[in-house]
Amino acid sequence: MVRKFGLTGGFIDVKRTWVLGMFLVAAVSLLTSGSARADEITLAGTTSSSPPSGITFLPGSFSGTTSGGFAAFGDLGAYTLSSNSGTYSGTVNLQIAFSLPTGISGGGSTTFVANLFGNVSTTANGGVNMTFTNPAQNFTFTNADSSGSFTFTVNSLSISPGGTTDLTGYVSNAVFTPVPEPSSGVMLGAGLVLISFLGLKRLGSA
């Protein structure tokens, strides 16, 4: 009888150890699932601009997902310079309306418009250089699925007489923290309670 009891007790100890181990793994997984990581943020939006006379802008739309916190965009629109000779100067206003990610700080729940201003100057061959005075802007966002931040940078450009140049830019330093699902929190709490119960029961039977 003693020998049989020892085998049964050993089986219970193994079972308890296995259950404790599984819940500890689950707890660690749930706790680390909300940690910030720089991998994938999906961004989308449209552009518009008001350049000086003699320069026209074709609005663009962009969409892409970051990888390692970075994504390049070559479809932000295009500027076209008149073929007529002249001296060009002044400022250009570029507007970028984000539709994704939602909840960007400073705007509504779906769309936030970022205003960037640039200087236009004439080159020796009659073209123009367009340099943005605030090309890099930082954004934060919070929505039902996640929260995070990223930097959006617009590149300067040059346009030849009668030519068209695409507006390009990129996203860098993108990080986000997923919001844990409510069911995950409930599971974690239940697991911790069960771990405590099994531990106390084991101490009581020792």
- pLDDT one-digit tens code per residue, 155-171: 999 999 999 999 999 99
- pTM, two decimals, is 0.70
| Helix, strand, coil abundance in the chain, percent, nearest 5 | 25, 45, 30
* Residue 97 to residue 110: CA distance in whole angstroms: 10
pLDDT of amino acid 1 = 47
Let me know the angle formed at the C-alpha of 39 by 22 and 33, rounded to the nearest 5 degrees.
25
Mode of pairing for the β-strands spanning 55-59 and 112-122: unpaired
Residue 87 CA to chain centroid, in angstroms? 41
pLDDT tens readout for residues 32-50: 444 445 568 999 999 999 9
Q: How would residue 145 be classed by pLDDT, with cut points 50, 70 and 90?
A: confident
Residue 117 pLDDT > 70: yes
Q: What gap in Å lies between CA 146 and CA 186, rounded to an integer? A: 19
pLDDT of residue 88: 87
Looking at the chain, the whole-number percentage of residues with pLDDT higher than 90 is 43
Per-residue pLDDT reduced to its tens digit, 76-116 = 999 999 998 778 889 999 999 999 998 887 544 456 677 88
pLDDT digits (tens, 9 = 90+) for 183-205: 444 455 555 555 555 555 555 55
| Cα 171 to Cα 68: distance, rounded to the nearest angstrom | 11
Query: E strands within the chain?
Result: 42-50, 55-59, 61-65, 71-73, 77-81, 89-100, 112-122, 128-132, 136-142, 146-154, 157-159, 164-166, 169-178
User: What's the whole-number average pLDDT of the chain?
Assistant: 77
User: From the centroid of its chain, how far is CA 143?
Assistant: 12
Question: Collapsing DSSP states into helix, strand and coil, what is residue 120?
Answer: strand
Backbone torsions φ then ψ of 95, nearest 5 degrees: -115, 130
Residue 114 phi/psi, 5-degree rounding, is -100, 130
